Chain A
Amino acid sequence: MKFITRILRPEQVRELVTLFLIVIIVLGFGTLLTDYYTGRTFVRVSTSIAIIAVVAMAQTLVAITRNIDLSLGAIVGFCAFFLGVQLSYHHEIGPVPAALIAIAIGTAMGMINGLIIAYGRVPAIITTIGTMAIYRTAIVLYSAPEGGIVSAHRLPMWARQFASWSIFKVGDLDFRVMVGIAIAVVILIQLMLTYLPYGRRLYAIGSNPEAARIAGFPAQRIVFIAYLIGGALAGLGGYLFLLQYGNLMVLAGVGLEFDAVAAAVVGGVNIFGGTGTAIGAFLGATLIGTLDYSLRRWPAISEFWRNAILGLLILLAVATDSAIMARLRLIWARAAAARTAEMAEAKARSMPQA
């Protein structure tokens, strides 16, 4: 216990706890259900997590800066729809250009959010409630000539098969391309948050905006870029959404922003800003996705309990975070200070006396 709380950073402890819970759930349901430890389970769970994970990355970025983005679902829906319509008429567009198109549209929509929030100084909740409504209307208007739907059979062949492409197959275990893309995004965002100066600045303005301002951080630009990246990620999410479902209705993506918040919060991201990791959000999405799938397979509980349990899970996650994280941080900070003091002393002792 001492090792854990003194050497590992609190965020890492939180990630490990989430991972531990996932393992418990998998082991628990493994004994309750038959045919649980199969490749089929892995494929189902991993593909259902892929889209939420990407959107959760977008939500995590803005949440760290003490903002929120409630328009992510609408951005995903619009990008999916737009791409779907374009692909239906232009079969010559390949998988990579299609992804770039979706990301570009998503970035533009994220840019609008960023401009209003960062430079217009309109609070994030208000802005994203408004842009969510506007983007949803945009979906309806854009899809009207198409009759409000995108049909899978009118998409190019690669688009219809994309969801089943694999990176590698080990017997029954199928690691799909979609899942690979999602994991790559998670790793990239995690690296950015940990090692790039921009990522560290996100934490800075989230944990203490006043101090960051006095230190001279360009808070507006930082938040603006966060929403840009968020929009780009949502665009990518729209791309994956289209390829997974094929048939789209105007309600595509409704509720995704709330699922993303849930995943982030369960994974240890603090909605008050300043704390949380991309890996944590990904683990949160995995936890929710695994629980979801397992509950659906378990005949003892009807599937209608899904949301009730999810809501309770979110609440418990925040409650324990609020109760425990501060104490963990205190223990770790003291231990780190003691370590630094020790190192300085050792250095002073080893130096020749002046």
Chain B
Amino acid sequence: MLSTRLASLRRMQFLRSWEAILFVLFLITLFYNSARAPAYLTVENQINVFYLYAEKIIVALIMTFIIINGEIDLSVSSVMGLAAGVLGRLIELGYPGELALAAALVTGLLCGLWNGLWIAYGRLSSLIVTLAGMIMFRGLVWVLVEDRSITTFPDWINNMGQRPILGPFPLSLLIFFFLLIIAYIVLQHSAFGRYVYVIGNNREVARFSGVKVETVKLVLFIASGLISALAGVLYTARLGAMRASTAEGFELEIITMVLLGGVNIFGGSGTLLGVLLSILLILNLRNGMSLSNITLQQQTGVIGALLIFSVLVPNLATRVRAELNRRRFARLAAEQAALAERKEVKAETK
């Protein structure tokens, strides 16, 4: 009992230090960037930094839940695209924007339901189910939009995506902050949040403890579909256009944001604070690299390396520490043995 308490305390301490490292890196990036570009620390610029990634960070919030739960959702980018496709196609066919919007969100919900049923009740691997979903939903976008691009959206949709709504903040950022608060309350301060963690730690233990594992997983994937659809709509509104390849490849960056935030890929641990810090770090890193004329693809390479090191370095550090401890203990044990022998010899010669 005490040993597990100590173990979890140690884990919490380590996690807190992960967030501390992220925070330090974030500050370093911030200082470096503001030294190179005087206008960097203005509210305007910071909002701009977020604004370009608003849709991805919204999805990162629900992805955090899913990964903590021990699953993964590779289909988020395709759901974004499909929602955009439904929105665009219905508007193209002349339906009112509100209806198209609602239909897009319902599409996301249905996609999430599809994923969730196979994963929660079919007990299939979420990697494969969402991989299949990624391919399938993207395929449906191609069927809807073919190789056209849809660029005529009603003004109110364009304004929703491109104009600031509250002070300098655009709608997408407001939605992000709103969802962030809800996510925090649900994850850290509600029974549902505890269930998410427990299931991620050990699905069977959770089941035997009375947690309705299937319901939780189903809810999470439905939420993922719905939020991805919302993100897809916001993305389309921001760009004012969509095509079949809209949002292709986003899932990897979203997953990187979550994993870099200290969330364990196998589930059971991780915090929203960590994910938030990792988002801040990644966004400002990218912005700084853009200022140095590093291309988007090169930036992705840097982020990829950061992701690997973020897990590799602690692993190696733990191993080095364990090895040093082992040697110290071995030395101590040898000294103790030598001391005991000398005492014996003294006792004999007496």
What 1/0 mask marks residues of chain B from 111 to 148 whose CB sits below 8 Å from any chain A CB?
Answer: 00000001000111101110111111111101100100
Q: Does A354 contact B (CB under 8 A)?
A: no
Contact status B125-A312, CB under 8 Å: no
Most buried by B among A127, A137, A261, A318: A137
Contact status B305-A134, CB under 8 Å: yes
Q: Does A140 contact B (CB under 8 A)?
A: yes
Contact status B308-A122, CB under 8 Å: yes
Q: Does B304 contact A (CB under 8 A)?
A: yes
Q: Does A193 contact B (CB under 8 A)?
A: no
Contact status A129-B316, CB under 8 Å: no
What 1/0 mask marks residues of chain B from 286 to 321 whose CB sits below 8 Å from any chain A CB?
Answer: 000000000101101111110110011001100000
Contact status B118-A319, CB under 8 Å: yes
Contact status A123-B118, CB under 8 Å: no
Contact status A258-B131, CB under 8 Å: yes
Q: Does A157 contact B (CB under 8 A)?
A: no
Q: Which residues of B contact A271 (CB under 8 A)?
A: 125, 127-128
Q: A133 and B303 in contact (CB under 8 A), knowing A122-B312, A122-B315, A315-B129?
A: yes
Q: Does B58 contact A (CB under 8 A)?
A: no
Those of B220-275 within 8 Å (CB) of chain A: 252, 255-256, 259, 265-266
* A280 → B minimal CB distance (Å): 15
What 1/0 mask marks residues of chain A from 235 to 271 whose CB sits below 8 Å from any chain B CB?
Answer: 0000000000000001000000010011001000001
Contact status A133-B304, CB under 8 Å: yes
- Chain A's closest residue to B140 (CB) is A308
Pick from A161-169, A196-204, A299-307 the stretch touching chain B: A299-307
Q: A130 and B308 in contact (CB under 8 A), knowing A125-B265, A136-B297?
A: yes
Q: Does A322 contact B (CB under 8 A)?
A: yes
Contact status B301-A311, CB under 8 Å: no
* B341 → A minimal CB distance (Å): 35
- Chain B's closest residue to A141 (CB) is B298
Contact status B308-A131, CB under 8 Å: yes
Contact status A319-B308, CB under 8 Å: no
Residue from the list B125, B146, B256 in contact with A129, Cβ < 8 A: B256
Most buried by B among A121, A133, A138, A140: A133
Residue from the list A138, A140, A322 in contact with B124, Cβ < 8 A: A322
Q: Which residues of B contact A302 (CB under 8 A)?
A: 143, 146
Contact status A116-B308, CB under 8 Å: yes
Most buried by A among B72, B129, B265, B312: B312
Contact status A311-B137, CB under 8 Å: yes
Most buried by B among A68, A306, A308, A309: A308
Those of B130-168 within 8 Å (CB) of chain A: 131-140, 142-143, 146
Q: A308 and B139 in contact (CB under 8 A), knowing A129-B256, A133-B301?
A: yes
Q: Which residues of A contact B122 (CB under 8 A)?
A: 319, 322
* B153 → A minimal CB distance (Å): 22
Contact status B133-A116, CB under 8 Å: no
What 1/0 mask marks residues of chain A from 8 to 20 whose CB sits below 8 Å from any chain B CB?
Answer: 0000000000000
Q: Which residues of A contact B123 (CB under 8 A)?
A: 322
Q: Which residues of A contact B302 (CB under 8 A)?
A: 137
Q: Which residues of B contact A314 (CB under 8 A)?
A: 128, 131-132, 135
Residue from the list A122, A134, A140, A307 in contact with B139, Cβ < 8 A: A307
* B182 → A minimal CB distance (Å): 28
Q: A122 and B311 in contact (CB under 8 A), knowing A133-B303, A133-B304, A319-B122?
A: yes
Q: Does A158 contact B (CB under 8 A)?
A: no
- Chain A's closest residue to B256 (CB) is A129
Contact status A306-B139, CB under 8 Å: yes
Residue from the list A116, A127, A307 in contact with B138, Cβ < 8 A: A307
* B144 → A minimal CB distance (Å): 9
Contact status B128-A318, CB under 8 Å: yes
* B103 → A minimal CB distance (Å): 18
What 1/0 mask marks residues of chain A from 120 to 150 whose CB sits below 8 Å from any chain B CB?
Answer: 1111011101111110111011000000000
Contact status A311-B128, CB under 8 Å: no
9 A-B Cβ contacts within 8 A? A122-B315, A129-B255, A130-B305, A132-B252, A137-B304, A271-B127, A311-B134, A315-B124, A315-B133
Give the interface of A toward B (CB within 8 A).
68, 116, 120-123, 125-127, 129-134, 136-138, 140-141, 250, 258, 261-262, 265, 271-272, 302, 304-312, 314-315, 318-319, 322
Lowest 7 A-B CB distances belong to which pairs?
Answer: A311-B136, A137-B301, A133-B304, A307-B139, A308-B139, A311-B135, A130-B308
Sample of 6 further A-B pairs with CB below 8 A, known A122-B312, A129-B255, A310-B135:
A123-B265, A133-B301, A250-B297, A262-B131, A308-B143, A318-B129
